Amino acid sequence: MDMQDTITHANSSRRISGEYDLHYHDAGNGAPILFLHGSGPGVSAWSNFSGNIPVFARTFRTLCPDMPGFGASPAVVWEDAYSRVAADAVRWFLDELQIPAIDIIGNSMGGNVATEFALAHPERVRRLVLMGPGGLAVNTFSPAVSEGARRLFEFLADPTRPRMAAWVDTMVSDPALITDELLDERMTNALRPGAIENTAAIFATFNDPDLNTLPPLWARAKDLHTSTLIVWGRDDRMLPFEGGLFPFRQLPNAELHVFSRCGHWAQIERKEAFERLVIEFLSRPVE
């Protein structure tokens, strides 16, 4: 895509089908980077990263797939915990695009998926950026069930606009960022036929003993030797930032950056600072 053109949802959209059926966004040239979105009602790659894609596409080939069961990518049969199914979809996606190794930025559950992929295929991951990553946080000082998680499951049980607004409110430090347009988009996506049931089924895979035969992700963190930048918002009410101290201590090659005045969506709430931080990290020589 010519970077003089405005990057839109339509002109950056692509689809690839085979072992998986994935919709994705592709913009820019240069070394490839992969953005993996989080979970929750109405989420997609575009809803998570549309504001960041044009900035990264100035320097990198920026790839943003809708992971299976989210956005415009259909669900599959969940024969393993979701994060490992999605990590396998990443493997297939990179195979199809003939990309042997890549930098990965994962937000929330996308950080979980990125970590699972890096543990399974360390030779294919150059560097990792993990933003409030699910599965790695150990909330020693916080309630077992966060406010954000409670609000999310309240919406899944009763998918109304007020409950969506209550959940989205837990994603940010500054409620002024919650616009009617954002809520409209999330509600439209969340109420597509089968979307609520599919989202609930995805979360259920994390608690199914038949699918979770490996130790929890945080217990395997010590085996991840990839150069990693951990990013957290101090005011994160979905995954409280204290939980980030454990992976920071356990990952052998990690550094931690905590943003003040920031919730779970660092890429939105501290957009410019986040972009500078990540671009600087990805511009370093690979260790």
Task: Provide the number of structural domains found in the chain.
Answer: 1
Q: What is the pLDDT of residues 23-48, one digit of tens each?
A: 999 999 999 999 999 998 889 999 99
Say what the pLDDT of residue 150 is.
Answer: 93
Q: What are the backbone dihedrals phi and psi of residue 144, each rounded to the nearest 5 degrees, phi first?
A: -60, -40
With 50 as the cut, is the pLDDT of residue 257 above it? yes
The distance in angstroms from the start CA to the end CA of the chain is 31
Q: Is residue 3 part of a domain?
A: no
Would residue 1 count as lying in a domain? no
Say whether pLDDT at 4 is over 50. Answer: no
In which domain, by residue range, is 167 found?
Answer: 9-283
Q: Nearest 5°: phi and psi at 161? A: -60, -45
pTM confidence score: 0.95
CA 51/CA 215 separation, integer angstroms: 36
* 134 found inside a domain: yes
CATH number at residue 124: 3.40.50.1820
Tell me what the mean pLDDT of segment 129-150 comes to: 86
The answer as to whether 246 is a domain residue is yes
Q: Is residue 2 part of a domain?
A: no
Instruction: Say if 81 falls within a structural domain.
Output: yes
- Tell me if 4 is assigned to some domain: no
Active-site residues, by number, are 264
Tokens 């501290």 appear where?
270
- Decide if 154 contacts 135 (C-beta within 8 A): no
